[in-house]
Chain A
Amino acid sequence: MSAGKHIFQSPASGFRRAERAWLWAFRLATYLVLACGLGVFATIVVKGSRTVFQTEAPFLNVRFLTQAPESLYVFDFEGRHYEQGDREHRAFVAAHPAAENVKKESLVYSAGGIFPCIVGTLLLVVGSMSIALFLGVAAAIYLNEYARDGWFIRFVRLAILNLAGVPSIVFGLFGFGLFVIFFGWNVSLLAGWFTLAFMVLPVVITASEESLKAVPKGFREGSLALGATKWQAISTNVLPYALPGILTSSILGVARVAGETAPIMFTAAYVVRDKLPWEVARAGDFFFQGVMALPYHIYVVSSKIPQNDYTERVQYGSAFVFLLLVALIATTSILLRNHLRNRYKW
């Protein structure tokens, strides 16, 4: 009986075939995206980890993470093959004067490490996110809590949304024109901070407004009914509950700020700088110095120097460290957000 026909058997119709075809189309599209993502990650992780990690203790290439970039000298001398960084090479030549005139290949930025770039990127992220969060949250509070809805406020919101679609190179040029030239800040941390902050402001404002909207009206009314001023109600009974949501959106902002190259090309980034950011004469100079930054360094080492096995190390190494750094900052923000979220639940 079980092999025979019954009334619930599927008729072979076009609808059923289309159903299966679409299912596979969706499934393959998802797998394709996944494959591309994994491909990119795997390449960077596999090739980059060769630079960042090593087989003998301490298993981490400390030099790569703690030193400034140097030129790499590759040469054969007295029957042996040498690969030396700038300083090492100079010491070597001092010890073996005959090595001075050996035929050698020199490759810029391919030895040493990327410490100044890591520091520069961290400084850029912290500074610009602080500015963006302060301005963004303040604007969101004004728009959501104080401003009366009207054509003007709707226009402001629309303008902010449109700002999110402006290409980052345009922000870079804007920052260059306003901060670097007009304000005379030159290529500096400060100019980079503000340029990057303006780039992520639309995201921060929009997300902060959404987070504020999600806080139940009852909390505001409850506060006000107890004799709170508007700002007291917002600061004690609205903003703390909106913070986790605001931080969630800023995590995306962090990744963008850390990763964008175009906005800092003209405003904050140096190809190479010998001094570290804290090596300044006066404390005030700190804000007016340019810095090296990871994304810009990656751009430089992958497009401005020859491509070969020696330069590949620093290229993939930088990209790998960059991914790690962004992941680290994002994880910190996520932990902070979770901490806040557990504190205020409703």
Chain B
Amino acid sequence: MVSTLEPPVSALPGPRRADALIAIDHVDFYYGATQALHDITLGIEAKKVTAFIGPSGCGKSTLLRCLNRMNDLIDGTRVGRGTITIRGVDIHRPDVDVIELRKRIGMVFQKSNPFPKSIYENITYGLRLQGLKDKARLDEIVEKSLRGAALWEEVKDRLHTSGLGLSGGQQQRLCIARAIAVEPEVILMDEPCSALDPVATAKIEELIQELRARFTIVIVTHNMQQAARCSDQTAFFYLGRLIEYADTRDIFTKPANPQTEAYVSGRFG
């Protein structure tokens, strides 16, 4: 138990697994002169759900956006030290094509962002980018992706109406369907339920349980119950450092670190 919470002087090293699909190795990350991540080391296993939790500003979203190099879009950001390796390839190698990386590492955003196009066009967007034009094949993928995102029954009669006509939860599932349509290996979810009501949230969580069989999922969440309910591994971040990383059950029942214990029991954050 701790009464005051100060930034940890040295981060606890997270577990590294040799068979990790994604290996994050001693990563420092900067927004301009501000260091947002300090010496992060952790491995993410294939076909598992890994949750990043922690209070606002702890760096969990920043780390997530490192994995598909979305941070490249922000001026002045850089990985100062360390490597991120996916399937054994350092994603910052000069010969890594960020377009190819992002095709394999899909992303679902905090604020659902269906494009102002029809539901059908939303799903086929990524495929068309890759030059797929075969109508029958597209139709097939649209149905498969919408079924995969548990949305098919609700929208099958209005595929050609705007994706923006859907409810908030449906929009977020549309974004998930759009992400899985291009068959990525990993799906990054950046607080996918933060704008949703409990019923819509429950549906997304259910969906995550179904998707884990086919995809590796990394989910950033504010909601500790959500992490507890749907993840296999949980990493707790605080002030840009990885405090503890373990099986979700252990994090929530017998956390090794007093700060983790204070956070998951709701005493701060």
Which candidate, B21-29, B96-104, B229-237, is the interface stretch facing chain A?
A: B96-104
Set of chain B residues within 8 Å of A223, measured between Cβ atoms: 115, 125, 129
Q: Which of A11-19, A202-210, A213-221, A282-290 contacts B (4 or more CB under 8 A)?
A: A213-221
Interface size on A, residues (CB 8 A): 22
Q: Which residues of A contact B70 (CB under 8 A)?
A: 221, 224-225
Q: Which of B102, B116, B178 makes the CB contact (< 8 A) with A345?
A: B116
Q: How far is the CA of A32 from the CA of B107 in the complex (A)?
A: 58
Contacts A344-B116, A345-B116 given; does A218 touch B111 at CB 8 Å = yes
Residue pair A226, B106 in contact (C-beta under 8 Å): yes
The residues of B that contact A218 with a CB separation of less than 8 Å are 109, 111, 113
- Majority secondary structure, A binding face: helix
Contact between B162 and A226, CB atoms less than 8 A apart: no
Shortest beta-carbon distance, B118 to chain A, in Å? 11
Question: In the complex, what residues of A have CB within 8 A of residue B103's CB?
Answer: 226-227
Distance A218 CA – B30 CA, assembled complex (angstroms):
22
> Is A219 touching B73 in the complex (CB atoms < 8 A)?
no
Contact with B178, one of A226, A344, A346 (Cβ below 8 angstroms): A226
Write out the residue numbers on chain B whose beta carbons fall within 8 Å of the beta carbon of A219: 113, 115-116
- Asked whether A148 lies within 8 Å of B75 as measured between CB atoms, the reply is yes
Is A227 in contact with B111, judged by CB distance below 8 angstroms?
no
Instruction: Please measure, in the bound complex, the distance between the C-alpha atom of A220 and the C-alpha atom of B164, giving whole angstroms.
Output: 16
Q: Which residues of B contact A149 (CB under 8 A)?
A: 75
- Closest beta carbon of chain B to A39's beta carbon, Å: 44
* Per-residue B-contact encoding for A148-160, CB less than 8 Å = 1, 0 else: 1100000000000
Does B162 contact A345, Cβ atoms closer than 8 Å?
yes
A181 adjacent to chain B (CB < 8 Å): no
Question: Does B251 sit at the interface, judged by CB under 8 A?
Answer: no
What's the minimum C-beta distance from A331 to chain B, rounded to whole angstroms? 26
Distance to closest chain B CB from A252 (angstroms): 26
Query: Which residue in chain B gives the minimum CB-CB distance to A220?
Result: B73
Interface residues of A in 144-200 (CB under 8 A from B): 148-149
Q: Mark B217-228, 1 if CB is under 8 A from A, else 0.
A: 000000000000
- Known A227-B129, A228-B129, A345-B162; judge A222-B99 contact (CB<8 A): no
The complex places the Cα of A236 from the Cα of B125 at a distance, in Å, of 9
Name the residue of chain A whose CB is nearest to the CB of B165.
A345
**Residue B68 is within 8 A (CB to CB) of chain A in the complex:** yes
Q: Is B58 an interface residue (CB 8 A)?
A: no
Return the CB mask of B160-179 against A: 1 if under 8 Å, else 0: 00101000000000010011
**Quick check: is A229 within 8 A (CB to CB) of the other chain?**
yes
Whether A130 sits at the interface, judged by CB under 8 Å, is no
Asked whether B73 lies within 8 Å of A227 as measured between CB atoms, the reply is: no
Chain A residues within 8 Å of B162, by CB: 345
Report the minimal beta-carbon distance from B202 to chain A, rounded to whole angstroms: 24
| Interface residue? A232 (CB, 8 A) | yes
Tell me if A270 is interfacial: C-beta within 8 Å of chain B.
no
Point out the residue from B75, B107, B111, B116 that lies within 8 Å of A225, measured CB to CB: B107
**Can you pick out 10 interface pairs between chain A and chain B where the beta carbons lie within 8 Å of each other?**
A219-B113, A222-B113, A222-B175, A224-B102, A225-B107, A226-B102, A226-B103, A226-B179, A236-B125, A241-B116
Listed in ascending order, the chain A residues whose CB lies under 8 Å from chain B are 148-149, 216, 218-229, 232, 236-237, 241, 344-346
